[in-house]
């Protein structure tokens, strides 16, 4: 991999949807699984780094009172802003995460790390986990979702990144979805199950 900026420049030069987030069944199904695994129906203040062109952002917006989405690439930010135009409680910013972590916008009761962590090296992943732990509310949720197949640009595997979050963020894992292509984990500071939260147990 040359550099993250050059890599993403090349991708967006050829398409405004380089991963087929908009049209592929894999991506549509993944978004549905992601949203279904969230333990709460609604969140007050959420952060989604690595938002790409905003396809997941639009769906998360339906579940959040406030949502900050961010991406390091200027074209991705432009596309995401177009995608959420008119949704007044969503902001999209250009940020390099974890270095430019939005401390001023937190704390967050939801942080979504989707298809993002494997572009970070081990030191950056440690920093990301530290930022997450410091930024979640007392009942906050972390969701991580990543492609599991190897690819040249990945500096880390999905499994290793999720294991680091599990070890470093100080949270209880509530859900784990594991298949050949995809890994989704959900952790929270509120260790209660969904049924317990609803008073069913």
Per domain, the residue ranges of the chain are 4-197
The fold for domain 4-197 equals Rossmann fold (3.40.50)
pTM of the model: 0.90
Give me the tens of pLDDT residue by residue for the chain, a chain 201 residues long: 445 556 555 555 555 555 455 678 999 999 999 999 999 999 999 999 999 999 999 999 999 999 999 999 999 999 999 999 999 999 999 999 999 999 999 999 999 999 999 999 999 999 999 999 999 999 999 999 999 999 888 999 999 999 999 999 999 999 999 999 999 999 999 999 999 999 999
- At a CB cut-off of 8 Å and minimum separation 6, what does 93 contact? 68, 69, 70, 77, 102
How many Cβ atoms from other residues are within 10 Å of residue 13's Cβ?
Answer: 9
């Amino acid at each position: 991999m040359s550099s993250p900026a050059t890599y993403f420049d090349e991708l967006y030069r050829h398409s405004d949807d380089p991963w087929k987030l908009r049209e592929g069944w894999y991506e549509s199904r993944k978004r549905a699984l992601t949203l279904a695994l969230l333990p709460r129906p609604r969140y007050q203040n959420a952060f989604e780094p690595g938002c790409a062109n905003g396809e997941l952002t639009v769906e998360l917006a339906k579940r959040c009172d406030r949502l900050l989405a961010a991406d390091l690439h200027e074209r991705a930010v432009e596309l995401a802003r177009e995608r959420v135009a008119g949704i007044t409680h969503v902001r999209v910013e250009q940020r390099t995460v974890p270095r430019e972590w939005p401390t001023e916008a937190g704390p967050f009761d939801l942080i979504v790390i989707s298809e993002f962590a494997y572009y970070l090296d081990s030191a950056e992943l440690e920093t990301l986990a530290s930022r997450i732990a410091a930024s979640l509310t007392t009942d906050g949720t972390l969701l991580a979702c990543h492609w599991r197949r190897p690819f040249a640009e990945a500096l880390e595997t999905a499994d290793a990144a999720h294991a680091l979050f599990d070890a470093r963020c100080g949270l209880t894992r509530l859900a784990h979805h594991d298949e050949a292509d995809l890994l989704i984990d959900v952790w929270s500071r509120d260790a209660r199950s969904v049924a317990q939260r609803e008073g069913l147990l």
